A and B are shown apart, each in its own frame.
Chain A
Amino acid sequence: MQISPDNILYWQHGFLKLNATIVFTWALMLIMAVGARLVTSRLSTGPERSRWQNLLEVVVLAIEKQIGDVGLKEPRRYLGFLGTLFLFVAAASLCTMIPGYTPPTGSLSTTVALALCTFVAVPFFGIEARGLAGYCRSYMEPTCIMLPFNIIGEISRTLALAVRLFGNMMSGEMIAGILLTITPFIFPLFMTVLGLLTGMVQAYIFSILAAVYIAAAMESAGPAGKAGTASSTP
C-alpha cells in the first residue's frame, strides 16, 4: 500500500518526475476548467438560465457569502484564491468515488503546497491592505517580545493546515484500504461515504481557516490571537 500518491511514478528524468499527485491534479484542473468554460460560454443574464449555471452561481455566491461572513470586507478580491482552495480540495475529495482515483490532497506535498500558498497569501493581502510597515508592526503587538511568538505561530499554523488536510485525507484512504482487505464488501462503502463527508468538511475548514488568517492579517489586532483560536479547530 502506498501512503502517498507521490510514490506512484509514471515518468522520471533526473529530479523531474510525473507522479500520481501531479497527474490527478492536472486531471482535476482540466475537468474544472473545461467544465467551467463549457457552462460559462453560454451564460444567461435573464431570468431563464441552465441548471449548470444555477449550480455554479449557487456555489460561487455561497463561497462569496462565507468569505464575507468571516469578516473580509470585499469578498470578491479573495474569491479567486479562497474559492479555488475550497473547490480544489472539495473536487479532490468528491472524485474519490471514481475507482482507481487517488486524491492529490492525500499527498503531504500537495497540502504543503496549499499551505505555503496560504502562508504567502496572508502577508500578501495584509501588506496590500495595510502597507508593509503596518503589517510588520502587527507582529510586534502588543509588545516587541511577542515578535518571535507571532512568527512561530505563523509558521506553525501553516504547518498545521498542511498536516490537518493531509492527515484527514490520507487516514480516510488508509482506513478504507485496510477495511477493504479485512471486510471487502460493506465497510469500505461506508468508509468511502464517510470519506466524502470528511473531505467536504476539510475543504470547508481549509478555506475558512485561510480566510480567517487573511482576515486577521487585515485587521489591526495582532494575528497571533486569531491564529491561536483558529488553530484549535479540529
Chain B
Amino acid sequence: MLIDWFTVFAQTVNFLILVWLLKRFLYHPILNAIDARERRVAAALADAAAQRDEARLEYQAFQQKNEDFERQRRSLLAQAAEAAKSQGQALLEDARRESEELVARRREALSKDFMRLREEILRRTRDEVFAIARRTLGDLASAGLEEQMVDAFVRRCRALTDQEKNVLRSSCLAGAEPVLVCSTFTLSDGLRETVERTVREVLACDGEVRFETGQDLLCGIEVSVNGQEVAWSIAGYLAGLENNIGELLQV
C-alpha cells in the first residue's frame, strides 16, 4: 500500500511543527524587519517632506525679506539721491552766495582801492600841479603861487553879487562863530592880512577871523561862515583832469 498512515500522521505533525518554526524564525522576523524599514523610510520621507516644506517656507520668507530689503534699498537710495540733490543744490546756492559775496567784497575792495588810488592820484596831481605852477610862476613871472591864489581869491570875493554878499553877511551876523579861512598852504602874514581885509570888506563883519591850514581840505582858499562858503580852488580843474584820466583808463 502506498499510503502509510503512521507516516501521514508523522508528516502532518512535522508540517505543523515546520509551520510554527518558520513562523517563529522566518516570517515574523523578516516581516518585522521589512515593516521597520518601511516605517523608517516613511519617517525619512515624511521628514524630508517636512524639511522640504520648511525649506520652501524659509525660501519664501527669505524671498520676502529680499524683496523688502530691495524695496527699502530703493527707497533709501531714492531718499539719499533726493537728499544729495537738495544738499548739492544747497551747496551750490551757498557757493553761489559766497561767490557773490566774495565778488561783492572784491568789488568793494576794488572800489576802495580805486577810491584810494584816485585820491592818491588827486593828491599827487594836486601837489605836482602846485609844484609846477609854483615853479612856472617863479620862472616866468617871478611871482609866488600863494600870492596869486590869494589874488584870485580876492578877485573871486569882490566879484560876488550883492545877493550873495547879503546871504554871507546875514550868516555872519546870525552866528557867533568865527569866520574860518582854510587854505592848502600856510599863508604868510601879509597874505593873511590881505585875506582878512578882503573878508571883512565883503562880509562887513568885525568878528574874529581864524586861519587853518590843511592839505586835504581843499585845493585853494575857502571862507566859511555858519555854513555859507566862498572859495577859490583848482578843484574844478582837477575834476576835469580826473574825468579825462577816467575816460582814458576805461578805454
Contact = CB atoms under 8 A, between A and B. Distances in A.
Interface of A: 3-4, 6, 15-17, 19, 21-22, 25-26, 29, 32-33, 36-37, 40, 43-47, 53, 56-57, 60-61, 76, 79-81, 83-84, 87-88, 104, 107-110, 112-114, 116-117, 166
B17 to A, nearest CB: 7
Interface in B1-34: 2-12, 14-19, 21-23, 25-27, 29-34
Contact of A80 (B12, B22, B29): B22
A88 B3 CA distance: 20
Nearest to A56: B30
Given A45-B37, A108-B3, A40 B15 contact: no
What is the predominant secondary structure among interface residues of chain B facing chain A? helix
A114 B26 contact: no
A112 B32 CA distance: 33
Given A36-B26, A40-B29, A80-B23, A112 B8 contact: yes
B12 A116 contact: yes
B19 A17 contact: no
A29 B6 contact: no
A6 B7 contact: yes
Contacts, number: 121
Contacts of A80: 19, 22-23, 27
Nearest to B21: A33
Most chain A beta-carbon neighbours within 10 Å: one of B11, B16, B19: B11
Contacts of A44: 33
B36 interface: yes
B107 interface: no
Interface of B: 2-12, 14-19, 21-23, 25-27, 29-34, 36-37, 40
A60 B25 CA distance: 12
What is the predominant secondary structure among interface residues of chain A facing chain B? helix
Contacts of B2: 3-4, 6, 108-109, 166
Contact of A16 (B6, B23, B31): B6
Given A60-B26, A79-B31, 8 more contacts: A3-B2, A21-B11, A22-B11, A43-B29, A80-B22, A107-B11, A113-B15, A114-B11
B19 A84 contact: yes
Given A44-B33, A57-B34, A80-B27, A19 B4 contact: yes
Contacts of B12: 113, 116-117
Contacts of A25: 11, 14
Contact of A40 (B11, B16, B25, B40): B25
Contacts of A79: 27, 31
A15 B18 CA distance: 24
